Amino acid sequence: MNRRNLLGAVALGGGALAIGGIASRGIVGGEDRPLSLGSSANSLRIPKLYSGEKVDGVRTFDLNLRHGVSRFLDGVDTKTIGINQPYLGPTLEMHAGETVRMNVSSDLSETATVHWHGFHLPAAADGGPHQPIAPSSTWSPSFEVKQRASIFWYHSHAHRRSGPQVYQGLAGAIYVRDAESERLDLPNDYGVDDIPLIVQDRAFNRDGSFAYSTSMPDIMTGMTGETLLVNGTIDPVFEAQTDLLRLRLLNGSNARFYRFGFGDGRSFEQIASDGGLLEQPYRTDKLVLAPGERAQIIIDLSDGSPIALMADSIGGMGMMGMMGTRSDRQRFTVLNISPAAQRRRATPMPSRLITLPRIDPAVAVKTRRFVLNMGMGMRMMRGGGFTINGQSMDMQRIDETVKVGTTEIWQVENASMMAHPFHIHDVQFRIIDRDGQMPGKGEQGLKDTVVVAPREVVRLLLQFTDYPDPQLPYMYHCHILEHEDAGMMGQFLVTS
């Protein structure tokens, strides 16, 4: 931890003491002891920023998957999974153009994987179900960071076990930096005015354990819970030291969709989508993120009043709601923001951010259709109902083969009764249209996960620029993790 972040952490701890007398230990991640988190007004945990070590010019990260114990609720412990810590992992910081090596060791009792969500990399380094990490073994992929600056994330993608492993905590954020974004006058001070928010809903049993369920209704709707964790914090408070605050929102939930907005209805600037900055800030007062999606926003606190980032639970359920057994909470407080009396003054926001290349959909050599469906009745009961183009995931079957160096249109159609976030590995794509209409301004940048509503047709433009491999596939799938685990996933090769 550098000095700046240490000061930030101390300031946060002080804020928490002023508000609720909550113990300030465990605010910055990285400790192995159980975290002391009460049930109200806790300081927001900021994951430790971890930049690895340069070894022979390669930025090297040592990541250890482990079982842990965390205290989210008063008086009871929760068994969790974390990376280098009891729950979740550090925020990995890396730079576009450099080579990284990830030494991922596992002390877990079951096979896991770590997928670098949103990264353009060789299939062998992707961390999908074909790169299992057995207990007591180490997986060490190396790849060049070819991403634009944004928030990405790493999480379990184990075959049929992504849902329970991510639920227990096998996830963390990645900050990719690049020269173009660093030149812009945007809040950029990690833990001070640039904050990752990993938003996850969880259900707990009375003994404190996570209530992860594989009942049919929970698989159909995806696993939801009534308690919101933000970076592993319940009811978090953040004391802002600056007028402008940049929040990097990551929907790390297994299944819940959120519409974010502020309690007082104020507008904010959205500056980035999943894979990078938008061309210009987009002023709005609401923002929808499905599981897997990210966005960055900048909020102006110069009026000094405390505000709350809220999230309404939306979508997804559709007609499935009537089949669910648990009540569904509709509105969550994500983060209480308390501006400090002394704050760094706001500077004007840049009106332009970056320029993205224009790609003409007419250059696409092929259009592929992907029809998402959930079979009903007996087929669903037997667990074979989650399909893409009528087929459930089969590790031995290659569904699509793409030629390297080509541009394609992928047309994703939702034939089911609930919305699905469709995620594609290896590429950052652009949304051409939704039912023939231009996507909203917040979706006109780089994306790797896209919501497809019931009966909607979404067309995506993808460029497959490199990394041919005749054998190892990439995945495409629904990012409701219970749907992915139940088979709503397929595999594509990129070949020369």
Evaluate the CA torsion angle 338, 344, 350, 353 in order and state its sign: negative
Q: Which is nearer to Cu ion, 222 or 276 (CB)?
A: 222
In terms of CB distance, is 113 or 416 closer to Cu ion?
416
**Residues whose CB falls within 8 Å of the CB of residue 435, separated by 6 or more in sequence, listed in order:** 456, 457, 458
* CA atoms of 333 and 197, how far apart (whole Å): 13
Q: Which residue do the tokens 């009537």 mark?
A: 322
Minimum distance from CB of 483 to Cu ion (Å)?
3
Among 2-10, 162-170, 340-348, 480-488, the segment contacting Cu ion (CB under 5 A): 480-488
Residues 362-401: x/- map of binding to Cu ion (CB under 5 A)?
Answer: ----------------------------------------
Those residues whose C-beta lies under 8 Å from the C-beta of residue 303, and which sit 6 or more positions away, are: none
Nearer of residues 53 and 394 to Cu ion, judged by Cβ = 394
Closest CB to Cu ion: residue number:
478
Q: Convert residues 207-236 into a mask of x (bound to Cu ion by CB under 5 A) and - (unbound).
A: ------------------------------
DSSP-assigned beta bridge partners for residue 152: 174
DSSP label of 15: H
Closest distance to Cu ion from the beta carbon of 432 (Å): 22
Cβ nearer to Cu ion, comparing 23 with 417? 417
**Does 483 contact Cu ion by CB under 5 A?**
yes
Which listed range, 107-115, 302-310, 412-420, 444-452, lies at the site for Cu ion (CB under 5 A)?
412-420
Give the Cα separation of 253 and 326 in Å (integer). 17
- Contact, 255 vs 481, CB < 8 A? yes
**Closer by beta carbon to Cu ion, 371 or else 404:** 371
Return the residues of window 324-363 that contact Cu ion according to CB under 5 A.
Answer: none
The count of chain residues that interact with Cu ion, using the rule CB under 5 A, is: 4
CA angle 239, 240, 246 (to 5 degrees): 130
CA distance 132 to 128: 8
Nearer to Cu ion, 28 or 290 (CB): 290
Stretch that binds Cu ion, among 228-236, 255-263, 388-396, 419-427 (CB under 5 A): 419-427
CB of 157 to Cu ion, least distance (A): 15
CB of 54 to Cu ion, least distance (A): 40
| Span from 98-106, 289-297, 396-404, 479-487 in contact with Cu ion (CB under 5 A) | 479-487
Q: Which stretch, 131-139, 275-283, 307-315, 476-484, contacts Cu ion (CB under 5 A)?
A: 476-484
Angstrom distance (rounded) from CA 424 to CA 447: 9
Do residues 214 and 383 make contact, with C-beta atoms less than 8 angstroms apart? no
Using a 10 angstrom Cβ sphere, with 0-12 exposed, 13-18 middle and 19 or more buried, the burial of residue 12 is buried
Interacting stretch for Cu ion, rule CB under 5 A, among 48-56, 84-92, 179-187, 474-482? 474-482
Give the pair of three-digit tokens for residue 209: 């354990």
Q: CA–CA separation, 330 vs 24, rounded Å?
A: 30
Cα–Cα distance measured from residue 414 to residue 370, given in angstroms and rounded to the nearest whole number: 8
- Judged by beta carbon, residue 59 or residue 115, the one nearer Cu ion is 115
Identify which range of 57-65, 132-140, 316-324, 475-483 contacts Cu ion by CB under 5 A.
Answer: 475-483
Structure tokens at 412: 């994703």
Tell me if 478 contacts Cu ion by CB under 5 A: yes
Backbone conformation region of residue 315, classed left if phi is above 0, alpha if psi is from -120 to 50, else beta: left
Q: What is the helix (H) or strand (E) element at residue 296, kind and residue range? A: strand 294-300
Q: Could you tell me the smallest distance in angstroms from the CB atom of residue 488 to Cu ion?
A: 5
DSSP element (H, E) containing 164: helix 162-168
One of 420, 423, 425, 459 touching Cu ion (CB under 5 A): 420
**Residue 257 exposed, middle or buried by CB count within 10 Å (0-12, 13-18, 19+):** buried
Taking the least distance from each CB to Cu ion, the nearer of 52 and 315 is 315
**Closer Cβ to Cu ion, 475 or 478, answer by number:** 478
Least spacing, CB of residue 88 vs Cu ion, in Å: 23
Q: Which of 92, 353, 480, 481 binds Cu ion (CB under 5 A)?
A: 480
Query: For the chain, what is the radius of gyration of the CA atoms?
Result: 21
Tokens of 484: 């992915």
Closer residue to Cu ion (CB): 12 or 418: 418
- Residues at the interface with Cu ion (CB under 5 A): 420, 478, 480, 483
